[in-house]
Amino acid sequence: MRMDLIQPFINSADAVLAQALGSAISIEDLSMEKEAYRRKGIAAAVNLTGEIEGRIIFDVDLGAAVQLASRLAGVEVSEAHEDLVREAVLELANQIIGNAVTTLNDQGFRFHVRPPIVHTGEQGSKSSEDTEALVMGFNTSSGKVFMNVALSYHCSRAAEAAAAAR
Amino acid sequence: MEKFAPVKRSEDGQPVRYLIVDDSVFARKNLVRMIESFGGQVIGEAGDGVSAISEYERLTPDIVLMDITMPQMEGIEAAERIVREHPNARIVMVSSVGYQENIVAALQRGARHFVQKPVKPEVLYEVIKYVMRDDGTTARGAGAGV
């Protein structure tokens, strides 16, 4: 997996989480996974197509998701407000992806991002040989946030896009 | 949230009136709190580009804060349609997707400025003052809050 594709997502997650939760963030766990993804909390998935293809899942501990929703809403939100908590995680994913996409586009990568969707399954699809997933655990003051990134780069699509632009 | 010197309309000294367009309820709430800290008045909200156009027609706000990626109609197209009918409309795009092509497309289609999410209040405040320019005024002697 190309780290230059992953690094913008790490930087963006670090910055957006710190601002959204109002506390320092540290990356505690970093691992490569080939097994099917198992959801841990409230999760949002984003799919990418084009030169960069794959998916990213943000999985937020319930406690962190509730705190995130409370901070974004400016009022106390409880676990009972499931819709609000899910919406908060989607907005978080949207901001993290958007910032990373900005960096990658300005570096010349061309791809399309679909809006984040709530990932409700207990388990996600297995990553393939060439899109092995990188899993990062961000430690926050209110719980863990996991980012599971499985992306691949298609140079043939980049060449097609360049030819079309000529 | 930090308080800023209120930005008023210079023509009548009334608060600047805002329409906030974003499909995320949290993004809207966040912007509402910032606008209130600038002394502004949120007169309407919309969750997609189509509603944004109808709400603009109905409310004629001083400023529209418009997200880009939304269902039904994206923000850049909605901005273009609003500006086509109302050339003096002041539309500020507010999006997490801030790459150069996107910003240029928004400005070419009539948006006045672009603010990247997550929005920093001090950045949005300066953009609001810039976009209002001669049509806006801040309390003399008051700090900008930044």
Domain definitions of chain B by residue range? 7-132
Give the three-state DSSP class for B67: coil
Q: Phi-psi region for residue B10, left (φ > 0), alpha (ψ -120 to 50) or beta? A: alpha
Question: B129 with B41: CB under 8 angstroms?
Answer: no
Banded pLDDT at A126 (limits 50, 70, 90): low
**DSSP state letters, A26-71:** EEEEEEEE-SPPB--SEEEEEEEEESEEEEEEEEE-HHHHHHHHHH
Residue B70 confidence (pLDDT): 87
Task: From B53, B119, B51, B122, select the one nearest B84 (Cα to Cα).
Answer: B53
B25, HSE (Cβ side, Cα atoms, 13 Å)? 11
**The pLDDT of residue B141:** 43
Distance (Å, rounded) from C-alpha B96 to C-alpha A163?
29
B49, B50, B52, B55 alpha-carbon torsion, rounded to 10°: 180
**CA distance, residue A162 to nearest chain B CA (Å):** 16
- Smallest Cβ–Cβ distance between B99 and the set A20, A95, A102 belongs to A102
CB contact under 8 A, B27 and A91: yes
Tell me which chain A residues have a C-beta less than 8 angstroms from the C-beta of B102. 102, 105
d(CA A18, CA A25): 6
Gap from A35 CA to chain B (nearest CA, Å)? 31
Tell me what pLDDT residue A124 has.
60
CB nearest A98 (choices: B33, B95, B100)? B95
- Residue B81 has which token pair? 């349609």
Predicted confidence (pLDDT) per residue in B96-134, tens digit: 988 888 899 999 999 999 999 999 999 999 999 999 987
| Residues paired with residue B122 on neighbouring β-strands, in sequence order | none
For residues A131-154, give the mean pLDDT.
87
Mutate to test the interface with A, among B22, B26, B73, B103 (most CBs of A within 10 A): B26
pLDDT number for residue B143: 44
Chain A touched by B22 (CB under 8 Å)? no
| Alpha-carbon torsion (B20, B57, B17, B114), positive or negative | positive
Cβ neighbours for B88, distance < 8 A, ≥ 6 positions apart:
none
Looking at domain B7-132, its CATH superfamily turns out to be Response regulator (3.40.50.2300)
Domain at A3-165: CATH architecture: 3-Layer(aba) Sandwich (3.40)
> How confident is the prediction along chain B (146 residues), in pLDDT tens digits per residue?
678 999 999 889 999 999 999 999 889 989 999 999 999 999 999 999 999 999 999 999 999 999 998 888 889 999 999 999 999 999 999 999 888 888 999 999 999 999 999 999 999 999 999 999 878 787 654 444 43
Give the 3-state secondary structure of B75-114: HHHHHHHHHHHCCCCCEEEEECCCCHHHHHHHHHCCCCEE
Token readout for B70 is 């939304």
**pLDDT for A59-75, tens place per residue?**
999 988 998 888 888 88
Which residue from A108, A127, A7, A109 is spatially nearest to A57, judged by alpha carbons?
A127
Look at A105 and B33 and tell me if their CB atoms are within 8 Å. no
Q: Do B118 and A16 touch (CB under 8 A)?
A: yes
A53, A144, B50 from A2: Cα distances, Å:
12, 25, 40
Nearest to A95 among B29, B100, B117 (CB): B117
d(CA B127, CA B118): 15
